[in-house]
A and B are shown apart, each in its own frame.
Chain A
């Protein structure tokens, strides 16, 4: 049994500190995944709140049949796909009047890049964001878990409730689209 599953079993026993440990460990990966899925920081955080709320609510019925992260990302992916299907992302975006289009403010590194470097980086990031945005939701989820969460095909398959060969196919088509759109950035 993985450590996270053990922590979750302690949460089941009423140990609040174990929940805080799980939250501390998985907060950023979940929010970053959701942000890249829905492309809005506000919506991503709202969905992440729902993810951890569901984790907490499910503590009494939790059974460690799979890796904790698989279960966690299954909840996150399910919520993200629902939000994309319902157009929640766009609606909230309008409500918040977020004119940045969900692009996060980049943290400036210590090496202080020049204005030109910053602009080039910003343009590249925007292009990647747009290229990923046009992918079908399931392909997008597969690519994001593969690239940014560094998940194995088998784990992605469990998260998306499909076969490993289906994941390979999703990734192949997704990267095909991305190559067509981003290859010039070499």
Chain B
């Protein structure tokens, strides 16, 4: 076997072997070569010591409040309507109904309930008549006053005791 360190690809294969790579060169050949080749043996030992030295670098434990801080940030960035829809999404029927339909339903319900001045119940007939009576036109008023004047004149003529009676 040629010395793997003579080519870049060979050196990479040797490195893979030292770092637990699964597809290194056939193990038997390589092991035999390492046993015979001082340069490859030195390479392997150096790489192994690097690997072991790296094991000493332990990471610190994570802060106990890490999750809390994250959830606070998530809550701060979640819009009010998302929070409103969340329980609906989690409801048993929520998964089968698209969120858009639920949102639409909520909006429709809001419009129907909040819309001012519109009553879902039909007004009574007497109220309609009363409302119509209150909207008399000026000519109607004039006609009524004329009628009253004629009526008054007529009654004066009919009553015999009246001083201005002509009967």
Contacts and interface: CB of A to CB of B under 8 A. Distances in A.
B57 A125 contact: yes
A171 interface: yes
A41 B53 CA distance: 21
Contacts of A119: none
Contacts of A13: 89, 95
Interface stretch (B60-68, B123-131, B140-148, B157-165): B60-68
A34 to B, nearest CB: 9
Interface stretch (B8-16, B33-41, B103-111): B8-16
Contacts of B8: 172
Most chain A Cβ neighbours within 10 Å, of B19, B49, B53, B94: B53
A14 B66 CA distance: 22
Contact of A147 (B51, B69, B74, B86): B51
B47 A129 contact: no
B contact face: mostly helix, strand, loop, or mixed: helix
A78 interface: no
Interface residues of B, number: 37
B58 A125 contact: yes
B29 to A, nearest CB: 20
A55 B72 CA distance: 15
Contact of A182 (B11, B53, B61): B53
B15 A128 contact: no
Interface string A1-36: 000000000000111100010010001100110011
A122 B56 CA distance: 9
A104 B58 contact: yes
Nearest to B51: A147
Contacts of B77: 53, 57
Contacts, number: 100
A15 B30 CA distance: 52
Contacts of B54: 128, 132, 147-148, 178, 182
Contacts of A168: 12
Nearest to B90: A14
Contacts of A104: 58-61
Given A146-B19, A182-B53, A49 B69 contact: yes
B50 interface: yes
A179 interface: yes
Given A14-B89, A179-B46, A185 B57 contact: no
B80 to A, nearest CB: 15
Contact of A107 (B45, B58, B66, B89): B58
Contacts of B47: 175, 179
Top-6 shortest CB links A-B:
A104-B60, A186-B49, A14-B89, A32-B59, A183-B46, A185-B53
Interface of B: 8, 11-12, 15, 19, 43, 45-54, 56-63, 66-67, 69-70, 73-74, 77, 85-86, 89-90, 94-95
27 contacts: A14-B89, A16-B86, A20-B67, A23-B67, A23-B70, A28-B62, A36-B57, A49-B66, A104-B60, A105-B60, A107-B58, A107-B61, A124-B53, A125-B56, A128-B54, A128-B57, A146-B19, A171-B15, A172-B11, A175-B47, A178-B50, A179-B43, A179-B47, A182-B53, A183-B49, A186-B46, A186-B49
